[in-house]
Structures are given as C-alpha cells and as structure tokens.
Chains A and B, each alone.
Chain A
Amino acid sequence: MTDVMVVGEGIDRSESSAPIDALPVAVAPRWHLLGTWVAAALLLGGLLALSRSGYRGLDDPNQAFQRPGLLDIGSLPDHPPAVTPSLPRTGRRAVVFFTRARGLAPLELALSGSDLRRMADVAIVDEATVPAPPGAHTVAVVAEAGDGLARSYGMRVPRDGGPPVGYAIVDRNGRVRYATIDPGDAHRLQEVRTMLSAVP
C-alpha cells in the first residue's frame, strides 16, 4: 500500500489505511501554465499602459505624490506665507486651493454648497494676472501670476510645468500638513474634508 496516492475528495481519513499524499488538483499542461503567465502579462500590462496614458499635464510627474492620502508627506513648510491677511491664522485650520482660470468658477460653485468653510478658513489662489474686484467672489480669491505661493505651501510642479491645481491643508498651528496636486478637486471636496478632519 505504500505507493497509493490518495485523492482528497470525500475521504474519511480516520478510516483510510492509505497514506494521504493528496493530489486533489490536477496539474495543467505546461503550455497552459505558460499561456496563463503570458495572458496575465498582456492583460495587466495593457491595463497599466492604458492607465498611464490617461495622465495629463496637470498631473504630478511622480504619481506616488498625487492624492496619497498620507498626512505630513515629505517635508512640508512649517509657517507658509499668508494668502490673505487672515489666512492662515493660529487656532484655525485652513484650506488653500490652487487653481487655473477655467477651474475657478466650478470650484467656487462647489465650495458655496459645501460646509468646508465652517470647518476651516478657505482661500483660492488663482493664476489670473488681474485681481478680481472686491465682492466678485464668495470665497477669498487671490490672483497670482507665478507659482510662488504654491511652492511656499509645498505644492509640486505638474507635468506641464505651470502653476499647480490642487490644495494644501494647514493645521491650527500654522503648519502645512497635506499638499497634493488634484486636477479634479472641485468634484472631490469630500476627500478634502476627510483630510481636514484628521488635522488638529
């Protein structure tokens, strides 16, 4: 009985006198195994290439830094310069959005229907070269032609080399805790709120 190879299905092992060198799963032919590997390589490689092709100029050159969901990533500034005379201020959290001309109106609209402004001071830094007249916006909007403010808040330079579109979160002590490029920020305020809630 030493050579008996017992297949595992339905075995009452306590009653079986045969050794249990189970072979319950048949081994596929070699070409089948190789085909599985090639199919996985082609399928996943194709999907990976497809996902990479979707990256645009507004995205971070290093995808790992875009919306990582990780507070205190890298070395973020301790006391960035003021965006407005009252932002940031000690004891109050702040969210600074960075946008370009076409993104300003949708972002402002999204913010007007959000409770984000109750949770923190909010400001938008826009790439516009001409400041808007007072009262033209429902949120504090600062025009800046360059990307000096963005860099001061730890924002990274997008692939197209222009000013970034995204946001930075400042805690009550005036320290930048999160900064990310996010071209779709007007649609993802929930994510901004999540990160803001985790900041003291």
Chain B
Amino acid sequence: MNVSAAPRRRPASSAAWTLAAIGLELLLYRSYQGHDARFHWFTHFFVGASFALVVMAAVSWRIRRPVRRPLLWLIAGHLYAMAPDIAFSAAGVPHRRWMDVFLGHISSHFIPGHNLTWFAVFLTAAGLYLAIVDGCRPDLSQPAGLAVRTWGAGPPVVFLHGLGASRRLWDSVAGNSSGYRGIAPDLLGFGRSPHPEGATYDVATHLAALDAVVPEGAVLVGHSTGSILAAAFAAAYPGRVSSLLLVSLPAYPDLDHARRDVARLGAMARWTVTGNPLGMISCWLMCRTRPLLLPIAPLVGRDVPASVASDFLLHDWASYSGTLLNVVVAHRVEPDLARSALPLVLLHGAADHTAPVDDVEDLVARLRSEGRDPRLTVVDTDHLLPVRRPEAVADALRGLISSGS
C-alpha cells in the first residue's frame, strides 16, 4: 500500500478540473468558425452531454455513488458526438450519412425544435443524473457502517482519530510504518461516516459503531478523543484488543477539571461546554456554508495537512458537541485503563496545551501505584503529534507489535 500516492479529493483539484474543462470547451467552440456554425457546437454538446449524463446516471445507480470526474464524462460525450466535425476541420473530411453512428451526428440537426429540443433533453438528462446522485446519499436516519480505510498486511492495527479530524489524520503515520494491516475509520458523525439522526455520541454510541471495525486481537491506536475511545473499547470488549497506544490522551482527573481545561481551548469549545447557543449557531452557519468553506479550509489550517483541514468541516453540531461533552468531558479514562491488563503505551507532546502532559504523568503514576506498568514517552511537540511526529508513533507502534508477536 502506498498512502502517499493515494488519490485524494481536494477542492483545489476540482477547481483545476473545472477550469480545464471550461478551457477545452471554449477551444472547441472556437473551432466552429462563424456565427452560423456555432449552432453545431450547441447541438453536439447537448447531444453528447445528454448521452454521457444518461450513462453516468446508470453507472451511479449501479454503484450507488456519484461518478468520479463528471466533467470528463461530459467532455468525452461531446467529443464523440462532434468527432465528424473534428475530422472536417482537421482533415477536410466532409460529412456522410453513416456518421450518424456518432450519436446521430447528421440526423440530430434536423429534429423539430432543433437546439431548443436538445437543450430540453440535456436539462432532463442532467436532472435525472442529479436526482440519482441525490438518492445515493446514505440514509442518515439509520446507523450504518463507518467509512473505513485499510492498508497493508499483517496483524491488525485500528487507528482512531480525535475530535473533528478524520481517518486521514493517520496518513503520515501509515507512510512511516509497515508490517501490519492498518484500519482507520472515520468516527461516527465525523469525516465521511454517517451522522445518525438523534445519536447521542456518547462513549457507548461510538463503541457500538466501532464494534464492526475492530477485528479480534487488534492493536488500538488512538489520538486525543480517539485515545479515550480506544481505552473504553478495550475495557468494554475484553480479549478483543491486544494492546493500546494512546497518543495525546486527555487524562482529566475529574469532571470540573475537564470542564475547565476544555473551556479554555477556544471560543467554540467554551460555548459548547457552557451551553452558550453561539456554539450551535456558529456550527450551523459553518454547515450551511460548507461548500464555500471547503476550498479555504486548507489555507486557514496551514499547520495541518490540507486533507485534515478540509475534513474538519465534515462533522455537524450533534457529533461535535455530543462527542466533546459526553466523551472528552464526561467520560473518565482512568477506570478503563485500571480495569484492563493490556500492554499500554502512552505517547505525549511536551508542549501539548490541549491535553496537558502533567495530567498524563499523574495518570501514569496512579496506574503504577495500582500495579499497572504503562510506558510513557514524551516527545518534543504539541497536541497534533501524529501529524508533527509520525515517526514517533510509528516507532511506538513497531515496539508494541514486536512485543506482541
């Protein structure tokens, strides 16, 4: 597997494709010299694009998702429909009746209503395709499977991202390590996983969704909120997990401590913890303007990979606030860890101001006093350790896998 070479859908890339498509169509338009010949551009564009849209609709219906690069399909249909005109312009080949094989290149000119008819056909075909695409949207009222990315071969390792992130948080770690089968889900309500109506996004909800993703004997790796869930999963499903690697674990000792620390993380977190409606309003506005925000998210979040910055916009208010309040603030990780006898490694940034390293050091001390033997490694970075220091995560993971085998 090669994560670094994996295709990624980025807004900038979509914009480039759109511009290239428009540029090519302008060139094709210009190839029809004179105002009277432009009639043909419209005819063949509408015919070719309509045909492409019908095929796209059939394919989308079959695979239950939109086709990739829809503009390429439209251009391909147009080029096929106008192929005799290209032959005429480039090689001086006049039209013949048999050229109707190019989507009725000859006959299409002579239908009643001419281009207005084809325009109506095009709009109908476009509506059909978009309606089918709309129907491909997962039924969010039903809990469905999580969106998961897998790679490699070997013992299973499940990676759980933190609040607001997605499975793509682990791309750098995946690129720095090998010898295992990586499984990285988007948590319920985040990334491209479903957002079930009415979900509470508490620990039990998340664990139920993860149940289908974590294979027997898996190493669980979690970052931040994901590390709380990893510890909770190991406690809830004894025997299912072989070891734990908890990165940037928020180890708040009690509820008040958790509320206070989370509230100072920023306006959004503060509004959420204090129940200020500004939090919900801000999140609602961001959801409504998501298509506009997606292209600029990588510019705003320059300190993380563009994919992670874009995916930050894919959650909603329910998943964000529910997970923050019910998992990060309300759930205590210490009992989960105390209950489990699994090999435990903690990796933390010395400059982590989101989940202070002091809390983790205190936690480790308490666990040791209870007879556990966790290993804590502090590295010189902040909370985004999997992004800043992926090799440190890879080293710790390698150690866990080798000790287990």
List the interface of chain A (C-beta within 8 A of B): 1-7, 9-12, 15-18, 21-30, 32-34, 36-37, 40-41, 44-45, 47-48, 51-52, 54-55, 59-60, 62-64, 66-71, 182-184, 188, 194-195, 197-198
Pick from A10, A29, A34: contact of B3, CB under 8 Å: A10
Given A55-B35, A64-B110, verify A27-B133 contact (CB < 8 Å).
yes
B66 within 8 A of A: yes
- Chain B residues with CB under 8 Å of A48's CB are 42, 115-116, 119
Q: Is the CB of A197 within 8 A of B109?
A: no
Name B291's closest neighbour in chain A (CB-CB).
Answer: A32
Q: Is the CB of A3 within 8 A of B145?
A: yes
Q: Is the CB of A25 within 8 A of B66?
A: yes
Q: Is the CB of A25 within 8 A of B34?
A: no
- Contact flags B210-246 to A (C-beta < 8 A → 1, else 0): 0011010000000000000000000000000000000
Q: Is the CB of A9 within 8 A of B95?
A: no
How many chain B residues touch the partner (CB < 8 A)?
A: 69
Q: Is the CB of B119 within 8 A of A3?
A: no
How distant is the Cα of A2 from the Cα of B93 in the complex, in angstroms? 57
Name B307's closest neighbour in chain A (CB-CB).
Answer: A9
Closest 9 CB pairs of A and B: A10-B6, A3-B145, A64-B109, A70-B95, A5-B145, A54-B35, A63-B39, A194-B92, A27-B137
B65 within 8 A of A: yes
Shortest distance in angstroms between A12's beta carbon and chain B's nearest beta carbon? 4
B398 within 8 A of A: no
Name B143's closest neighbour in chain A (CB-CB).
Answer: A3
How distant is the Cα of A116 from the Cα of B274 in the complex, in angstroms? 86
B104 within 8 A of A: no
- Chain B residues with CB under 8 Å of A67's CB are 34, 36-37
How distant is the Cα of A27 from the Cα of B1 in the complex, in angstroms? 26
Q: Is the CB of A70 within 8 A of B123?
A: no
- Chain B residues with CB under 8 Å of A40's CB are 123, 126
How distant is the Cα of A21 from the Cα of B95 in the complex, in angstroms? 45
Given A27-B136, A63-B114, A198-B94, verify A9-B7 contact (CB < 8 Å).
yes
Q: Is the CB of B119 within 8 A of A27?
A: no
How distant is the Cα of A188 from the Cα of B3 in the complex, in angstroms? 55
Pick from A7, A44, A70, A188: contact of B94, CB under 8 Å: A70
Q: Is the CB of B181 within 8 A of A51?
A: no
How distant is the Cα of A8 from the Cα of B291 in the complex, in angstroms? 22
Q: Is the CB of B94 within 8 A of A4?
A: no
- Contact flags B20-38 to A (C-beta < 8 A → 1, else 0): 0000000000000111111
**A–B Cβ pairs within 8 angstroms, 28 of them:** A1-B212, A2-B145, A4-B212, A5-B148, A5-B193, A10-B3, A10-B151, A11-B150, A12-B153, A17-B215, A21-B64, A24-B9, A24-B65, A25-B68, A26-B9, A27-B134, A29-B290, A45-B119, A51-B35, A55-B35, A63-B39, A69-B88, A71-B96, A184-B36, A188-B34, A194-B92, A195-B94, A198-B93
Q: Is the CB of A63 within 8 A of B92?
A: no
Pick from A3, A17, A182: contact of B36, CB under 8 Å: A182
- Contact flags B136-158 to A (C-beta < 8 A → 1, else 0): 11100000111111111100000
Q: Identify which of residues 95-135 in chain B touch chain A, using a CB-to-CB cut-off of 8 Å.
A: 95-97, 106, 109-110, 114-116, 119, 122-123, 126-127, 130, 133-134
Q: Is the CB of B150 within 8 A of A64?
A: no
Pick from A26, A63, A69: contact of B85, CB under 8 Å: A69
Pick from B94, B144, B167: contact of A194, CB under 8 Å: B94
How distant is the Cα of A41 from the Cα of B3 in the complex, in angstroms? 40
How distant is the Cα of A33 from the Cα of B66 in the complex, in angstroms? 11
- Chain A residues with CB under 8 Å of B9's CB are 24-26
Given A27-B65, A71-B94, verify A44-B38 contact (CB < 8 Å).
no
B192 within 8 A of A: yes
- Contact flags B298-312 to A (C-beta < 8 A → 1, else 0): 000000000000000
Name B168's closest neighbour in chain A (CB-CB).
Answer: A9
Q: Is the CB of A188 within 8 A of B33?
A: yes
B62 within 8 A of A: no
Q: Is the CB of A7 within 8 A of B181?
A: no
B2 within 8 A of A: yes
Q: Is the CB of A7 within 8 A of B192?
A: yes
- Chain B residues with CB under 8 Å of A17's CB are 150, 215
Shortest distance in angstroms between B160's beta carbon and chain A's nearest beta carbon? 15
Pick from B2, B92, B150: contact of A18, CB under 8 Å: B150
How distant is the Cα of A54 from the Cα of B115 in the complex, in angstroms? 15
- Chain A residues with CB under 8 Å of B136's CB are 27
